Structure 1
Amino acid sequence: MPWLTLTIAGLLEIVWATAMKQSDGFTKPWPTTVMVVGMIASFWLLAIAMRQLPLGTAYMVWTGIGAVGSFILGIILMGEPVTPARLFAAALILAGILAMKMAS
């Protein structure tokens, strides 16, 4: 159950990071609201997952999910560039997440 909770927390990190970008420096109220709610929910679920998972594992997986997910949404929704170096970096993060999961 803590892994499911951590995964949802990571997905919510993607939500709030994307909403932060769309808030245009907190000048748009709806994206700003989504960001704040998503952030609170994400941190809350992370804290719950940390009751049973080691700090380093939980935090690394949470940030990794958020980083890779935000990278993918940036490409899909915002037309950010896809380069071999960026893809390689994202693959390294994903490999780290999988290695941390298997090591726990």
Structure 2
Amino acid sequence: MSHTYEIQDFWVDEVRRLAATIAKKAIVTIAGEDYEYPITKTVERDGFFKHYIEVEDEPIGDIERTVLVNENNIPLAIGEGIIEKGDEGWQFAFKVFVSLDKKEGELNG
């Protein structure tokens, strides 16, 4: 005999909060050189969270790549493409959607 269950919103929120703690910094490639930037802010919303990093006014050059990494420098998200960067700073956001399939499942006993 099987029984059904449904994932509750609290669990989905907890998974999202846990996922938001995994990333620790970003490695940004500017004009061929890698620079590390800490996550300056994390914003959680319904269904997603955003990690923000701030790239300083120096160095000047094209931003070629951004990599969000965990504490062991394992890549979690990679962005590629040229962004022209002058002498003003930039703020980047990594937006991540987290969801669990909330359809009914089976408990087998």
Q: TM-score per shorter chain, which class?
A: under 0.3
Normalised TM-score (structure 1):
0.26
- Which of the two has greater helix per residue? 1
More strand per residue: 2
TM-score (norm 2): 0.25
